[in-house]
Structure 1
Amino acid sequence: MLIMANYFRISLRGTDFVTVSESARDFMDEFVKDGRAEVKSDGNYFVDRNPAIFHYILDYLSGRKLHLPKGICAIEAREEIEFWMIPLEAVPKCCYEVLYNDNMSSYEAIEEMEEYMAQGVCPIETEIKCSKGKLQEVRETLSRALVDPGSSLLGKIWLFLVAVFTLTAVVCYLLHSNSEFRVTRENIPPIPDNNTYNFFFSNPKRTVLITKVVSREHMILEIISNVFLLFDLFLRFLITHRKKAFILSPPNVIELVSVVISFFISIADRNPSIVIDNIAADKLMVVCGFIYSLRILRLLRLAETTAEMNILRLCFKKSWKIIALLFMVFTIFSILFGSGMYWAEFENAETFPNILISIWWAVVTITTVGYGDHYPKTTFGYLVASLTALFGLLLIAMPIAALSSNFGIIYNCYTYKKKYAAARKKSKNCIHPCIVKK
């Protein structure tokens, strides 16, 4: 009877919670002082808050652990914990799954991705007031067309042109080294000496580039494509509000460098004397050719307009720790099994002349490629090879489950988010009858 005489009530939007905890009473008194709660005439407390998980909050205020129920929104749980000024460290490990739900991080990743794709475009449905001059209207129109091509006819047309010129540039690059699509040069520059002659004509690949040149039509088509793509990149730079982030973006840097290099390669291809007179320039051409091949990554930029590509990119971003761990384990065991194979075959002079080659063998074996250029010939070598092959099967299968799980989570979040955005846009002019405009 003494305990029951000291009980008091905490009301949250009409739901009463009864407790006798003095620590909870002291906490509510502090809440009243902060203006987050109020005291009724009968000495009980009232808080204008959702009572869904207050049972668990009250357990913590009464001196017990803060356990969270499963099936609640992780964002809502974090907001309630923040409102009641409870440190996150108070949540036991058994409830981390609720507090740090994967869906929450997936939603945040989707928001970051869409913000990055927007590149600072002025939001449409926000309270930010943008000047509505003609220049601003043109900028917003271009922004919508480039960021969300499916939202307007201009965006669809521009996306089609970018796709055509991108594919054209890629095809021109692929045919650049094919002798069947090159024509014989009319005048081959004189070769300075025998060493230079042997340098260029001992390699059939160099011979093709020296004796043949791309057709004029091929060159014009490639230049037009690269100029258009360079203009597209420059246009995106003009309309963005985040020019520094745009300049430092790796895809934009790669695209700009590859376009510039494409013009350099075209000039060198029409004037082979640049390479013949300076053999060091040949090495530079090899590097430039490799960098120019990165232009194919432009195809991924086209795929970014699809939801599936965005989901795949988020899946890899969310799984980077697993991928990094896989790479680390792969490196360690490639060296381990490679070294083991070298010493297992040490008495056989015909196989694995050094550890680096045996590590190469371990790499192609673990990845289940198996070129067959190096293989064991002794009993111990067979044993090491068997263990390496079995480990490769286990290692390759390890990240698949995690990637598949993350892909499913992000796909569901992305789908629900798009449905919610569409429903919100459809009903943005509807006002609930209980809500009164001020």
Structure 2
Amino acid sequence: MNFLIINVRGTVFKTKAKNLEKVPQDSPLANLNKTSEYFDSESGEFFFDRSAEVFDTILDYFTTGRLHIPTSVCAERVREELSYWKVPESHLSRCCWKNYYQKDEDMDVLTKLLHHVPCVENRITTSSADCCDSPNIIKPPETEQNFRSRTWACLNNRKKGILAKIWYVILCFSIIVSTAIFLLQSIPMFRVDAPNTLPFPYNITSKPLLMYWYTMPHPILMTSDGILNFIFMVDWFLRLYACPCKEDFMKGLLNILDLVAWVAIWNILWIEFYRDIFHFKGAFSVLFMIGTLYATRIFRVFRLMQHNCGVKILLLSLKSSARELCILAITFACVSVIFAFLLYMSEFNSTSHVKFPNALTAIWWAIVTMTTVGYGDFYPTTPQGYCIGALCSITGILLIALPVAVTSSNFSDFYNFNKYRAKYQEALTREGRELPDHNKTVMDIPTTGV
């Protein structure tokens, strides 16, 4: 009987020659004879410098026709070996699908995580300086450029020294107090009568609207608001000055909202002191528009979460679950319309005072019922309506629970991988190494001496 002896990185395999008769012609195992480049004349063996553990799987596949992968080897490494030995992935046994393809999902999660939350935090604030290498950007002198880099890092990374921490605390305190002032201004006890105010120009009985027209915030609140707004304005101009790419800075949503907010606040403060000049026709529309822009200050709270790793993971989980959430929204809308129409028709002859006036009101009822909110403003009053309402409630629970489980699973994956990222970052810090570029090959990554 003709046997072949194959040495794979020190591990010797002995197999029948007929087991390799069906090997693809482009595989290294094809045409193994004494003239093969892999033949070692001294030992009489065929030597391959590959993974011995994976080769056992390859040899078993050519012998039995079933492809099983070892669980002790990384799936990415198995994929490389399958490509080398010319074994198609489509022949993988179904019992190994999870172990093999789970690695693809894990790598996709890790790639997204490292893109939004790099291993070294200071890369978040300094990597954008690379855009200064563009030939279309005029570089400032080196001294000024270094000052801008330090300023940019100080404003965006609270771990860049004592000054960065102090400024971060001031900014957080200002955002919290500014938001509190905005809320307190809506309470009558924190407002005083406005001088020289003409009667309201429209026939409206809305108490909040009349309160804002005839009163003004307490002077202490207005003075505090002006001081805090000055801090935000200084922060905005400093970040604009230090930002390596002004165009990208001006395209940032938070930067645009911040600009609109502090400009609107200055206008509102000016209007409160000189409101007697706003007695012309159409003044209310102008004030309403400025007041709407003034309300954008509430979005400053997102500045507190901008560099928070947990918030980034939560948003990343929602973004990765966009497909499931879209399916949920479409299905939820369809089911809501169906139950709304059924209930509207079943309650058509009802004489109750909570009778559904139209089908749109029934859709409102279906939405609040399926989300288990149940305001109680409209509800069924007939036996058939009760049955439809019960089915609507149960369907809503099942419909929402299933896609939410997928979103929770994605969040769990990102959260766990973020813990691994944190441990890897700690290892880099202990070794004093730079973050390797994961887009490079292993040979391109610098290693420390042993």
Give TM class, smaller chain: 0.7 to 0.9
- 368 and 157 in structure 1: CA distance in 2 versus 1, 3 angstrom threshold: same
Answering whether residue 384 of structure 2 is matched by residue 375 of structure 1, we say no
Distance in 2, matches of 1:81 and 1:339, equals 57
For 1:187, what is the secondary structure of its paired residue? coil
Over residues 341-376 of structure 1, what are the superposed CA-to-partner deviations in whole Å (9 max), with x where a residue is unaligned? 111111125411111111111111111111111112
- Residue matched to 1:53: 54
The one of 14, 25, 29 equivalent to 2:10 is 14
Answering whether residue 217 of structure 2 is matched by residue 214 of structure 1, we say yes
- Residue matched to 2:126: 121
The one of 345, 366, 369 equivalent to 2:370 is 366
Letter matched to residue 338 of structure 2: L
Residues 260 and 296, structure 2, Cα contact 8 Å, conserved in 1: no
Residues 192 and 215, structure 2, Cα contact 8 Å, conserved in 1: yes
- Residue matched to 2:171: 162
The one of 343, 347, 350 equivalent to 1:348 is 350
Question: How do 1:244-393 residues align onto structure 2 when only pairs under 5 Å count?
Answer: 244-272=247-275, 276-279=279-282, 282-283=284-285, 285-286=287-288, 289-290=291-292, 292-348=294-350, 350=353, 351-393=355-397
- 88 and 236 in structure 1: CA distance in 2 versus 1, 3 angstrom threshold: farther
For 1:27, what is the secondary structure of its paired residue? coil
Distance in 2, matches of 1:110 and 1:270, equals 50
Distance in 2, matches of 1:186 and 1:417, equals 60
Distance in 2, matches of 1:237 and 1:57, equals 59
Distance in 2, matches of 1:224 and 1:232, equals 13
Distance in 2, matches of 1:311 and 1:89, equals 34
Moved more, 320-329 or 177-186: 320-329
- Residue matched to 1:423: 427
- Residue matched to 1:34: none
Distance in 1, matches of 2:243 and 2:314, equals 25
Residues 120 and 242, structure 1, Cα contact 8 Å, conserved in 2: no
- Residue matched to 2:38: 39
- 397 and 184 in structure 1: CA distance in 2 versus 1, 3 angstrom threshold: same
Structure 2, unmatched stretches of 5+, are 31-35, 134-139, 434-446
- Residue matched to 1:152: 161
Distance in 1, matches of 2:198 and 2:58, equals 85
Residues 59 and 66, structure 1, Cα contact 8 Å, conserved in 2: yes
- 244 and 54 in structure 1: CA distance in 2 versus 1, 3 angstrom threshold: farther
Letter matched to residue 208 of structure 2: K
- 293 and 197 in structure 1: CA distance in 2 versus 1, 3 angstrom threshold: closer
Structure 1, unmatched stretches of 5+, are 32-36, 430-434
Displacement of 1:285 in angstroms is: 4.8
Residues 149 and 305, structure 1, Cα contact 8 Å, conserved in 2: no
For 1:9, what is the secondary structure of its paired residue? strand
For 1:53, what is the secondary structure of its paired residue? helix
Question: How do 1:67-82 residues align onto structure 2 when only pairs under 5 Å count?
Answer: 67-70=68-71, 72-78=73-79, 80=81
For 1:198, what is the secondary structure of its paired residue? coil
Distance in 1, matches of 2:288 and 2:246, equals 32
Answering whether residue 98 of structure 2 is matched by residue 97 of structure 1, we say yes
For 1:328, what is the secondary structure of its paired residue? helix
Distance in 2, matches of 1:48 and 1:222, equals 71
- 425 and 365 in structure 1: CA distance in 2 versus 1, 3 angstrom threshold: same
Distance in 2, matches of 1:150 and 1:133, equals 24
Over residues 4-34 of structure 1, what are the superposed CA-to-partner deviations in whole Å (9 max), with x where a residue is unaligned? 2xx35252x3334555425647434599xxx
- Root mean square deviation of aligned Cα: 4.0
- 134 and 413 in structure 1: CA distance in 2 versus 1, 3 angstrom threshold: same
The one of 198, 202, 211 equivalent to 2:203 is 198
Residues 22 and 62, structure 2, Cα contact 8 Å, conserved in 1: yes
Distance in 2, matches of 1:93 and 1:262, equals 63
Residues 38 and 48, structure 2, Cα contact 8 Å, conserved in 1: no
- 170 and 421 in structure 1: CA distance in 2 versus 1, 3 angstrom threshold: same
Distance in 1, matches of 2:369 and 2:46, equals 70
For 1:149, what is the secondary structure of its paired residue? coil
Letter matched to residue 27 of structure 1: D
Distance in 1, matches of 2:190 and 2:212, equals 12
For 1:213, what is the secondary structure of its paired residue? strand
> TM-score scaled to structure 1, two decimals?
0.78
Over residues 248-290 of structure 1, what are the superposed CA-to-partner deviations in whole Å (9 max), with x where a residue is unaligned? 33333333333333334334444446765344x6456556545
Residues 24 and 58, structure 1, Cα contact 8 Å, conserved in 2: no
Distance in 1, matches of 2:65 and 2:340, equals 55
Distance in 2, matches of 1:340 and 1:298, equals 45
For 1:183, what is the secondary structure of its paired residue? strand
Letter matched to residue 266 of structure 1: L
The one of 150, 172, 184 equivalent to 1:175 is 184
- Residue matched to 2:437: none
- 76 and 229 in structure 1: CA distance in 2 versus 1, 3 angstrom threshold: farther
Distance in 2, matches of 1:283 and 1:93, equals 67
Displacement of 1:85 in angstroms is: 7.0
Distance in 2, matches of 1:219 and 1:27, equals 80
- 309 and 22 in structure 1: CA distance in 2 versus 1, 3 angstrom threshold: same
Letter matched to residue 353 of structure 1: P
- 183 and 246 in structure 1: CA distance in 2 versus 1, 3 angstrom threshold: same
- 235 and 226 in structure 1: CA distance in 2 versus 1, 3 angstrom threshold: same
Q: What is the count of residue pairs matched by the alignment?
A: 414
- 132 and 288 in structure 1: CA distance in 2 versus 1, 3 angstrom threshold: closer
